[in-house]
């Protein structure tokens, strides 16, 4: 492994803290040209310390997820738009599961003005957002709380989820591979996500386009297992074609008109 320069070491630390670094911000921070920063990032990516994404880089790992707070910084504006579009499709007086993730948390944030909702979640952040609202009933799955992100995982959570049959499941994923497999890092979380999908009448996947650039070791399922996919954009036509073949309702927030994302699911 090549020796890292002091600047490259700092870039790695920033990426681990923030989740993502951009060429523009780093060039301003270190008062160097964008070309110099791109060379630093390319060197770090060649050593598999970082992975390049559009405009910058993220920490490279296919076996360990980033810290929850760091993930909030990644594609934040895209997640807000995804959350808004997904929440607009969920009508009042409906029941739903919401699983662990910063994007599903954004959906919950956008549901706060809904009425008559029953929300079952294994995400303590979602529960904290929604329980104060008198027109939303919240049920939290029991079991061990994962300290890293406030997720509840384990057999007790699965048992509780199995007692319900809800209208919608809102799920996130850590990565989507080129064949459409949905991937995550923790097999315990994946078991909960699978139970959520199996006990919902309609499954809505919410994930930003950076998920297409990541990898993770545990399989949740496949795009064909979902009914609705809300994302900022799909980078590959092959995956867009897959959604069309499998009759998956696709909402791309960077291309859809507001009217296109506002109709409640049937």
For the residues of 215-243, what is the DSSP string, one character each?
--SEEEEEGGG-SEEEES--S-HHHHHHH
pLDDT number for residue 259 = 44
- What are the pLDDT digits (tens) for 175-197? 999 999 999 988 999 999 999 99
Within the chain, which residues score under 50 in pLDDT? 62-64, 257-263, 266
Q: What pLDDT does 210 receive?
A: 84
Q: How far apart are the first and last CA of the chain?
A: 55
DSSP string computed for the chain: -PPPPHHHHHHHHHHHHHSEEEHHHHHHHHT--HHHHHHHHHHHHHTTSEEEETTEEEE--SSSPPPHHHHHHTTHHHHHHHHHHHHHTSPSS-EEEE-SSHHHHHHHHHTTT--SEEEEESBHHHHHHHTT-TTEEEEEPPSPEETTTTEE-SHHHHHHHTT--EEEEEE--SEE-TT-EEEES-HHHHHHHHHHHHTEEEEEEE--GGGGG---SEEEEEGGG-SEEEES--S-HHHHHHHHHTT-EEEETTTS-GGGG-SPP-
Place of tokens 């409640």: 264
pLDDT value for 256: 52
pTM comes to: 0.77
The yes/no answer on whether domain 76-261 falls in CATH 3.40.1190.20 is: no
- pLDDT at residue 230, as a whole number: 98
pLDDT reported for residue 2: 64
User: Any idea where the domains of the chain sit in the sequence?
Assistant: 6-60, 76-261
> What gap in Å lies between CA 138 and CA 128, rounded to an integer?
9
CATH 1.10.10.10 fits 6-60, yes or no: yes
CA quadruple 71, 75, 76, 78: dihedral, nearest 10: -140
The rounded distance, in Å, linking the Cα atoms of 22 and 76 is 14
């Amino acid at each position: 492994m090549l020796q890292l320069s002091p600047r490259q070491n700092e870039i790695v630390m920033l990426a681990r803290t923030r989740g993502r670094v951009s060429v523009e911000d780093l060039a301003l921070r270190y008062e160097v040209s964008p070309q110099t920063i791109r060379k630093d990032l390319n060197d770090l990516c060649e050593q598999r310390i970082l992975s390049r994404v559009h405009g910058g880089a993220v920490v490279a790992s296919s076996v360990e997820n980033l810290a929850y707070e760091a993930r909030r910084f990644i594609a934040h504006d895209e997640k807000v738009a995804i959350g808004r579009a997904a929440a607009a499709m969920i009508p009042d007086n409906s029941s739903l599961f919401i699983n662990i993730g910063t994007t599903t948390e954004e959906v919950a944030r956008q549901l706060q003005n809904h009425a008559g909702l029953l929300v079952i979640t294994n995400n303590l952040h979602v529960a904290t957002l929604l329980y104060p609202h008198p027109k939303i009933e919240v049920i939290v799955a029991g079991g061990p709380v994962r300290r890293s992100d406030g997720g509840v995982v384990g057999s007790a959570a699965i048992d509780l989820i199995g007692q319900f049959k809800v209208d919608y499941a809102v799920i996130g994923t850590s990565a989507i591979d080129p064949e459409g497999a949905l991937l995550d890092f923790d097999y315990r979380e994946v078991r909960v996500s699978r139970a959520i999908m199996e006990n919902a009448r309609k499954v809505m996947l919410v994930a930003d386009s950076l998920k297409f650039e990541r990898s993770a070791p545990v399989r949740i399922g496949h795009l064909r297992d979902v009914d609705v996919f809300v994302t900022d954009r799909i980078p590959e036509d092959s995956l867009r074609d897959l959604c069309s073949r499998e009759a998956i309702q696709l909402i791309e927030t960077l291309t859809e008109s507001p009217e296109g994302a506002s109709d409640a699911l049937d």
